Structure 1
């Protein structure tokens, strides 16, 4: 070495470090691992991983690096107070294999490997005896290993969009399985032991090559939803023993005839794109609970006789058949809201009647009954209306209040709107009914309404509400909503919205655009994530209720929402803030969250 040359840096510990092979081991940021030891959850979704990092497998085995230098009992992050890993999310990567070291994570409850490139699974996977959820969809699996049957506590197994040609008979050992999805595979048959899955609630075998169902299906006594769409079925076995089954999907098969007995409590039946004729669907008669019936794209030449007796129908799809006449008795179905007839050669119905919508069509059909039977009053049982208790005219005239609440009605009668015609109604209360959609005649008061109460109904959509530009208060609690329409952004005067007890899985995106909001009540839903940047845009927001949701993490940036005077987070599965912090009140919670924001991170 020349005296003038600078010596290279020598690694004195090089001989003690393991040598990496040609394939570099992926690494996980130390901060993520540290947080995983605290929370018991690790999310590595969408990181381009080709292998599961070795540090992940050994997370519960090796002492963390900080154990070498941080031994202070006063430290805020005590490395020895760590949690075993219970939730590992590895979806949307490029992982090609799972090593036997997966057995080093015996406390796992959730393992998500969907959207990867796995073509096999290790036998060691069967050692994860505590596993509750296993998601393996969108991989390259051609075989479901027998070892899966060892996961005796498994409740959810998703294997859709793989290359499976068969399922092992041993699958029936998963007696606690409640959700099984093997759709979009190459299955030619289902295991004969399938009936042993005695806890199964939801089964999806759609998009396969099934020509028959296995014997023993009638033993799935708890089954609520069954999807066999897009297979090769020509006939169905007797399913009448499935007394809990409410939803049955049979679209795009080769069915010509329905079994004589169907599940007695069916609410939704989808039979579109089969080869059914009018006689083949006769078993539909007498289904007292059927709400949705889809028969589109079959070989019907007439409306099946039993349909007119299905008094609970709300949606009837007869599109793209060969129906030439429509029986007037259809007009007597009291709850029917949607009737689809396009693609039929209907001769006695003018085109303009069809284009006016279901309500006008049913009204026309009822009129045909009166014409065909002069002097005979329509049977009262066919035209059941909600309670006809008189409205309060004084409330309409002086309070500008239109109230039709607690009537248990599935629709609001026309006379209710007629009584308020021409009045500048400011408040509407249609709560405690059985409405499935917002009455369109409410639009007659769109320029004056400021307060709408539709709570305790069965609403699944709310598009009509987007037109009430003067609205300030909206109560939609206790319905069946899972989304809000994007056009709700136009309600720029809305200050309070109550969405308790619905079915939202995320904080509705459109609410982030309503900077007039002061109160948002979203408790008792299934919300899993929040966007703190979106909440920061709501400069007037002072009350936010997210109690009893599925938040497994509260973003620290939420602490920057200093305008909040009431923040309710109880009843969520997150670990921090702890219950003691929540009990101190909103100000303390926000202060705690702000203290957790990294110095180099802004919202």
Structure 2
């Protein structure tokens, strides 16, 4: 009897084990994964957060949250005022992000009241057509999955406001996407899109469109119909040009076109455009016609391009506050740049600039603009000379205003091979502290200054002499030593074949620029050590 009973128990154990192996599997899929108290709270609040729970699929009791009678009611328990299950709220917000979901069941349609569905950061490779039945849905987050396509039914969600699908594997989009007529935000970044449906232009409520990091070689002209878009990001694509229709995007404030293949700055008459980012392209020049349309621009980023010059009419950008020209091929800056009334940040690193002292570039935007303003001539006293109030250096003769108020003796950019006598006569008796004869064709310093020793070499307050970018072929240290207050001497980019060792006796010099000359000594390595090292080297070579 004992043996029979034992056998029966063993037989029962095996039978139960066989049943549990199936039931247990189903249970893992449904109930145990989600605490009942969490589901109970969701019936009251209408919100259920299941993010980061390691789910491989959505439990069935989540889909049927509003369809089935709660377990408490089936057990005939009494309910207090706060537990009346028949007064439950329909689920409107379901968060399933950061799980391991590989698929979504068609049963998602049972949650017809959903307004927010968050599925980002999962392993979804496809979506069920039943999503189209969630007609109350306003926000759908699908980013960071493995989606290769979208069901057409998704495009029937008329109330959808935000659709984020970045970081997926999408190569194309359904033409029906344009049916999402109330969409205000669309993020398609970091996919593999090589084209866009023309129906995109029907999304007239759109305010933010992100297309960056795809494989787009062109944009549809229909984008011009998106007249409420404020931000458009097309960075990191393969765009070679921008359709003219973008000028019709009247609300556009921020346009990102970094890392493409653009050869020209887009000519956009978008009246509200405040920020334009076109860094890392192949732009070679900024045309006046292109700048003229940027009537509201505040930030212009053109870094890492091939721009060689800036137009004098850069002043058209009167609202500009930040100009980034980093890593281009700019050699000279127009003095008119200093006339931009709101410019606060000017970035120039990585350009082969000539005629501007290196130490000046390190002092910041304000000092650089101040220097450029110093190169602009004021209106001459005689009206018959026909010059404007803001005549450029290349157009003016002598500026007595600068000599008297700025203590600057300036005659730059004249392409001259000598300095006129009247310039030195005008400086006679004035406490000049700086001299700028840059961008001319002077062949030597002594012949020029020996003609005027009484004026120039006796200006004991002289502190700065700029002769960069000329054709100076000789330096006379004996005359320079008379300028006892001279601290800055710029002789860069001239024709000096040798540097006289006696120049090392000009011990008051704090900045001596000799780069860009054809002399062999001092060597480049010594020049790189700075002014003190150069002067010491020169003194060591004075014959004893």
TM-score (norm 1): 0.58
- Which ranges of structure 2 fall in alignment gaps of 5 or more residues? 382-386, 391-544
Q: Name the SS of the counterpart of 1:139 in structure 2.
A: coil
Q: Per-residue deviation at 1:23?
A: 9.5
Q: Name the SS of the counterpart of 2:42 in structure 1.
A: helix
Q: Per-residue deviation at 1:158?
A: 0.8
Match of 2:299 among 282, 286, 292: 292
Change (3 A) 1:373 1:93: farther
Change (3 A) 1:237 1:377: closer
- Which whole-Å CA distance do the structure 2 matches of 1:294 and 1:166 have between them? 31
Q: Per-residue deviation at 1:143?
A: 0.8
Structure with the larger helix share: 2
Establish whether residue 251 from structure 1 lines up as the match of residue 219 from structure 2: no
Q: Name the SS of the counterpart of 1:66 in structure 2.
A: helix
2:312–2:336 CA contact under 8 A, matched in 1: no
- Which ranges of structure 1 fall in alignment gaps of 5 or more residues? 380-603
- Which whole-Å CA distance do the structure 1 matches of 2:347 and 2:20 have between them? 74
- Which whole-Å CA distance do the structure 2 matches of 1:197 and 1:87 have between them? 25
In structure 2, the residue matched to 1:334 is: 341
Q: Per-residue deviation at 1:71?
A: 5.1
Change (3 A) 1:343 1:15: closer
Q: Name the SS of the counterpart of 1:369 in structure 2.
A: coil
Q: What does 1:257-336 align with in structure 2 at a 5 Å threshold?
A: 257-279=264-286, 282-336=289-343
Match of 1:43 among 49, 53, 58: 49
In structure 1, the residue matched to 2:367 is: 360
Establish whether residue 213 from structure 1 lines up as the match of residue 219 from structure 2: yes
Change (3 A) 1:214 1:373: same
Instruction: Please say which of residues 282-291 and 181-190 is displaced more in the overlay.
Output: 282-291
1:258–1:281 CA contact under 8 A, matched in 2: no
In structure 1, the residue matched to 2:440 is: none
Match of 1:175 among 163, 167, 181: 181
Q: Name the SS of the counterpart of 2:354 in structure 1.
A: coil
Q: Name the SS of the counterpart of 1:216 in structure 2.
A: helix
In structure 1, the residue matched to 2:141 is: 135
Match of 1:225 among 231, 236, 250: 231
Which structure exhibits the higher relative contact order, with contacts defined as CA atoms closer than 8 Å and separated by 6 or more residues? 2
Q: Per-residue deviation at 1:18?
A: 7.8
Match of 2:131 among 125, 128, 134: 125
Q: Per-residue deviation at 1:374?
A: 6.7
Q: Per-residue deviation at 1:306?
A: 4.1
In structure 2, the residue matched to 1:456 is: none
Q: Spell out, residue by residue over 1:385-417, the C-alpha distance to the aligned partner (whole angstroms, 9 max, x if none).
A: xxxxxxxxxxxxxxxxxxxxxxxxxxxxxxxxx
Q: Name the SS of the counterpart of 1:55 in structure 2.
A: helix
In structure 2, the residue matched to 1:28 is: 34
1:257–1:281 CA contact under 8 A, matched in 2: no
TM-score (norm 2): 0.64
- Which whole-Å CA distance do the structure 1 matches of 2:303 and 2:107 have between them? 51
Answer with 1 or 2: which has the greater Rg. Answer: 2
Number of residue pairs matched by the alignment? 378
2:172–2:196 CA contact under 8 A, matched in 1: yes
1:286–1:310 CA contact under 8 A, matched in 2: no
- Which whole-Å CA distance do the structure 1 matches of 2:200 and 2:153 have between them? 17
Change (3 A) 1:305 1:59: farther
Q: Spell out, residue by residue over 1:120-177, the C-alpha distance to the aligned partner (whole angstroms, 9 max, x if none).
A: 1111011100100111111111112211111111111111111111000011111111
- Which whole-Å CA distance do the structure 1 matches of 2:322 and 2:286 have between them? 21
Q: Spell out, residue by residue over 1:96-122, the C-alpha distance to the aligned partner (whole angstroms, 9 max, x if none).
A: 000000000000001111111000111
Q: Name the SS of the counterpart of 1:339 in structure 2.
A: strand
2:165–2:188 CA contact under 8 A, matched in 1: yes
1:49–1:95 CA contact under 8 A, matched in 2: yes
Change (3 A) 1:23 1:324: farther
Change (3 A) 1:128 1:76: closer
Q: Per-residue deviation at 1:305?
A: 4.1
Q: Spell out, residue by residue over 1:456-495, the C-alpha distance to the aligned partner (whole angstroms, 9 max, x if none).
A: xxxxxxxxxxxxxxxxxxxxxxxxxxxxxxxxxxxxxxxx
Q: Spell out, residue by residue over 1:64-109, the C-alpha distance to the aligned partner (whole angstroms, 9 max, x if none).
A: 2222357545444333332111111111111000000000000000
- Which whole-Å CA distance do the structure 2 matches of 1:80 and 1:109 have between them? 21
In structure 1, the residue matched to 2:465 is: none
